[in-house]
Amino acid sequence: MRTQVGIVGAGPAGLILAQLLHLAGIESVILENRSREYVEHRVRAGLLEQGTVDLLTEIGAGERLKEEALEHHGIYLQFDGRREYIAATEITGRSIHIYGQQEIVKDLIAQRLGYDGPLLFEVDDVAVHDFDKHGEPRITYTHEGRQQRLECDVIAGCDGFHGVCRPAIPKGVLTTYQREYPFAWLGILAEVAPSTDELIYAHHPNGFALHSMRSSTVSRLYLQVKPDEQIEYWSDKRIWAELQTRFALAGWTLQEGPVIEKGITPMRSFVTEPMQSGRLYLAGDAAHIVPPTGAKGLNLAAQDVRVLAEALVAWYSTGDTAQLDGYSDRALRRVWRVQDFSHYMTTLLHRLGDDPFDDRLQRARLEYVTSSDAAAKSLAENYVGLPEY
């Protein structure tokens, strides 16, 4: 088989890239190692920046989103028994939307299959070859028991943090920057109406907690836990008791309901530089990870592929490689802005350890960001997304 762009991974990055290319008349094939059922039900991100909503709308994947997404205009920061509001829309003129990542994935898959765009699920043994500048890029894989080979002009590695594309880049090309945090997130989906109109980020001596949502009937909640925590030790009863403790506020009640999904996610910051090698381009989680406190991973993945698609369109239409050569530099500017913000939100809100000095600093920062217009503006413009990046 031959195509123009071989895309590894049918997460948000791979699917959005394929659609952007399709609209520009560029062919691609997407190879995904999981089943359609699995990727359509993997519970992950929920918060979209205005720029992501606009991009999905532009590529024709915004119809259901427009009907079902919840529009939010700010966030609550809770600490010291107080709950303060950061009025992000009032400050920035932009809003954020709640719409589950798996719903975006469902919409994009339906769109792709709707025009018979090549998208293969359950492919095994994916490997990328010969992608140096003068090579002839190829992807080999097994599908329905048969070994296959896909020849292409370029390869897009959209296969997430644990994918095969980044490790295929020759030693010495990439430099990685990373930070591990001494905690993880335990997340639940619960069949209960959200107890809040907008998200609550809570700083508590027991650790961070977040109240998010998916719809008017489904809540999404997270608890900071130990990095090696075992989900088996967290009964639904224990999870709700801990959430009640961390969100406790006079005159407010956290409603409980049946837990329909739960899991633990490690927290890390990670960047690889550059995000390209020869004719292999990395996008999304394949190139970087941010801790979820800033709600940025999916939004960043969407912006990476927007930049990559623009560069590919320029190359196919003019033969000039300048934009493709500059892909990584352009994408990394935003990546590092978002890394900084995600690290800021993470260290602002989590219990970092047992040092009371850290705790006092955090409280001083929370006090400042909820009382100074300048500090609130900085948080708000980063949270809703900086369009000029």
List active site positions: 72, 201, 292, 296, 383
Residue nearest to ligand PHB (CB): 46
Nearer to ligand PHB, 62 or 291 (CB): 291
Burial zone of 385 (CB within 10 Å; 0-12 exposed, 13-18 middle, 19+ buried):
buried
**Terminal Cα distance for the chain, rounded:** 37
Nearer to ligand FAD, 174 or 361 (CB): 174
- 13 neighbors 283 (Cβ within 8 angstroms): yes
172-191 residues near ligand FAD, rule: CB under 6 A: 185, 187
Residues in the chain: 389
Contact between 45 and ligand FAD by CB under 6 A: the answer reads: yes
| Exposure class string for 76-85: b at 16+ Cβ within 10 A, else e | bbbbeeebbe
48-107 residues near ligand FAD, rule: CB under 6 A: 101
186-245 residues near ligand PHB, rule: CB under 6 A: 199, 210, 212, 220
Q: Which strands make up the sheet holding 138-143, listed edge to edge?
A: 124-129, 138-143, 146-151
CB of 192 to ligand FAD, least distance (A): 19
Contact between 163 and ligand PHB by CB under 6 A: the answer reads: no
Residue from 53, 295, 308, 335 touching ligand PHB (CB under 6 A): that is 295
Residue from 292, 304, 346, 385 touching ligand PHB (CB under 6 A): that is 292
- 88 neighbors 71 (Cβ within 8 angstroms): no
**319 contact partners, CB below 8 Å, separation of at least 6:** none
Nearer to ligand FAD, 33 or 277 (CB): 33
Contact between 163 and ligand FAD by CB under 6 A: the answer reads: yes
According to DSSP H, which parts of the chain are helical?
12-23, 36-41, 50-58, 63-68, 88-92, 101-114, 165-168, 236-247, 297-318, 322-325, 327-349, 356-369, 373-384
Contact between 285 and ligand FAD by CB under 6 A: the answer reads: yes
Give the chain's largest Cα–Cα span.
67
Contact between 72 and ligand PHB by CB under 6 A: the answer reads: no
Within 10 angstroms of residue 316's Cβ, the number of other Cβ atoms is 17
Q: Which three-class secondary structure string do you get for 276-336?
A: EECCEEECHHHCEECCHHHCCHHHHHHHHHHHHHHHHHHHHHHCCCHHHHCHHHHHHHHHH
Contact between 47 and ligand PHB by CB under 6 A: the answer reads: yes
Contact between 159 and ligand FAD by CB under 6 A: the answer reads: yes
Q: Which stretch binds ligand PHB (CB under 6 A): 162-170, 242-250, 263-271, 287-295?
A: 287-295
Residue from 164, 184, 189, 190 touching ligand FAD (CB under 6 A): that is 164
Q: Which residues bind ligand PHB (CB under 6 A)?
A: 45-47, 199, 210, 212, 220, 292-293, 295
Q: Which residues bind ligand FAD (CB under 6 A)?
A: 8-14, 31-34, 39, 44-47, 101, 126, 158-160, 163-164, 185, 187, 265, 284-285, 292, 295-299, 301
